[in-house]
């Protein structure tokens, strides 16, 4: 009697153990084998040595299972500076039907993004940065309705960003910087997009005022060939804390309201922005770079609370506000670049001591700079703008 109870107990135990260490789904097992065959460790990397298919793949480095399915695949040794992997991403990745997370460390993975990635309906996180992925972004990635993070930065991707990818409903982070993407910026429909980084590509065309959701906090479109006005777009993006539109061909006005957003770094240099910058509030953005545009009018005294202010290479005229000079001499402004404008005067004692950590450049304006200050090399050697230019400008 007593011994049969023990047998029942042991049977239950065995069943329990069997359930916990479920055997990996054979489809996932075969997919991992194909993925392994297309990859190699770079010299100095030992990531794939643990991938011995006579043991349980759920114990391999970078493989995470839930029950009998692979749910996360982190390919390559994640330690900083570790050499990555070479080879290709096998289309069999698309067979890991429960995969929620796929990442690859920086390395030398070549070839295209497998179109089969679009089968991964649970995928939430896809990050393959700093490799040599080439070809187009498959439009079918627009099927990944749960995708929140897409980072394919620092690769060799070409073609345009598919509209279907911009329409992904759950996107929060979208990073495609440093590729060779062309065409226009798609419309983004996710209401939870917070980070969009497309800098260093070859994107062109104008941007629709409704192309980005107001949830966006970090926006970089720098180093492209984008054109057109952005004032109607920017006034909607009042959560911005970082904005870099530099090195494009944007034109039109800079909306004054932009300067009231919680931005810590505003980079609008090297565009074709024009008009006066009519501020209504004291600017509390630490770094403001508006250099190399076509801005004109007076320099607003409300800029005096900026720490690094680049207004050089524009068409500003009038006198430099006393509040800027005060803050500079007090060491609160560290950079005040006003060179290459049409400014006609500045209230500063010629013997005033500019704090060592601060820089003031006044070169090439419609005045003789009253103080000798070191300017960046690019400002040239000419202290004053030729009188003919100054007279023409005043009309």
Ligand X SMILES: *[C@@H]1O[C@H](CO)[C@@H](O)[C@H](O)[C@H]1NC(C)=O
Instruction: Kindly list the residues in this chain that would bind ligand X in the complex (CB under 6 A).
Output: 163, 184, 186-187, 208, 210-211
State the minimum distance, in angstroms, from the CB of residue 223 to ligand X: 20
**Residue 264 has which token pair?**
């810590």
State the minimum distance, in angstroms, from the CB of residue 163 to ligand X: 6
Strand partners, 134: 156
Instruction: Using CB positions, name the residue nearest to ligand X.
Output: 187
Sole residue written with tokens 């439009």? 139
Q: Number of C-alpha atoms within 13 angstroms, CB side, residue 295?
A: 31
How many residues are present in the chain?
395
Selection from 237, 133, 232, 227 nearest residue 184 by Cα: 227
For ligand X, which is the closer residue by CB, 201 or 300? 201
For ligand X, which is the closer residue by CB, 31 or 203? 203
For ligand X, which is the closer residue by CB, 210 or 280? 210
State the minimum distance, in angstroms, from the CB of residue 314 to ligand X: 31
Sole residue written with tokens 């299972």? 65
Cα(first)–Cα(last) distance of the chain, in Å? 113
For ligand X, which is the closer residue by CB, 235 or 274? 235
State the minimum distance, in angstroms, from the CB of residue 275 to ligand X: 25
**Residue 263 has which token pair?**
């931005």
Contacts of 138 (CB under 8 A, 6+ apart): 113, 115, 117, 118, 162
For ligand X, which is the closer residue by CB, 184 or 278? 184
State the minimum distance, in angstroms, from the CB of residue 124 to ligand X: 25
CA dist 391 and 395 (Å) reads: 6
How many other β-carbons are positioned within 10 Å of the β-carbon of residue 5?
Answer: 9
For ligand X, which is the closer residue by CB, 248 or 312? 248
State the minimum distance, in angstroms, from the CB of residue 184 to ligand X: 5
């Amino acid at each position: 009697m007593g011994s049969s109870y023990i047998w029942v107990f042991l049977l239950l135990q065995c069943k329990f153990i069997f359930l916990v260490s479920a055997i990996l789904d054979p489809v996932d097992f075969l997919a991992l084998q194909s993925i392994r065959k297309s990859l190699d460790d770079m010299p100095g990397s030992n990531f794939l040595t643990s991938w011995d298919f006579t043991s349980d793949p759920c114990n391999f480095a970078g493989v995470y299972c839930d029950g009998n399915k692979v749910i996360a695949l982190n390919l390559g040794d994640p330690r900083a500076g570790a050499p990555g992997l070479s080879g290709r991403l096998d289309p069999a990745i698309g067979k890991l039907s429960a995969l929620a997370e796929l990442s690859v460390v920086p390395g030398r993975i070549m070839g295209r993004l497998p179109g089969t990635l679009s089968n991964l309906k649970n995928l939430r996180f896809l990050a393959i940065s700093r490799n040599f992925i080439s070809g187009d972004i498959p439009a079918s990635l627009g099927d990944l309705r749960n995708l929140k993070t897409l980072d394919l930065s620092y690769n060799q991707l070409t073609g345009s960003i598919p509209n279907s990818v911009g329409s992904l409903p759950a996107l929060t982070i979208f990073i495609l910087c440093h590729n060779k993407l062309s065409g226009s910026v798609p419309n983004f429909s996710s209401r939870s997009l917070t980070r969009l980084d497309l800098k260093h590509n070859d994107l062109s065309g104008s941007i629709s005022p409704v192309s980005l959701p107001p949830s966006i906090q970090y926006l970089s479109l720098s180093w492209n060939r984008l054109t057109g006005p952005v004032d109607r777009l920017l006034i909607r993006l009042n959560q911005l804390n970082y904005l870099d539109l530099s090195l494009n061909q944007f034109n039109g006005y800079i909306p004054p309201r932009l300067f009231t957003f919680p931005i810590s770094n505003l980079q609008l240099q090297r565009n074709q922005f024009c008009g006066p910058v009519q501020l209504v509030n004291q600017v509390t953005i630490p770094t403001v770079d508006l250099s190399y545009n076509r801005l004109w009018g007076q320099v607003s005294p409300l800029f005096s609370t900026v720490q690094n202010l680049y207004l050089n290479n524009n068409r500003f005229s009038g006198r430099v506000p006393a509040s800027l000079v005060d803050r500079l001499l007090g060491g609160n402004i560290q950079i005040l670049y006003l060179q290459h404008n049409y400014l006609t005067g500045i209230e500063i004692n010629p013997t005033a001591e500019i704090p060592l950590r601060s820089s003031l450049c006044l070169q090439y304006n419609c005045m003789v700079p009253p103080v000798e200050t070191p300017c960046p090399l690019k400002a040239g050697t000419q202290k004053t703008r030729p009188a003919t230019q100054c007279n023409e400008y005043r009309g």
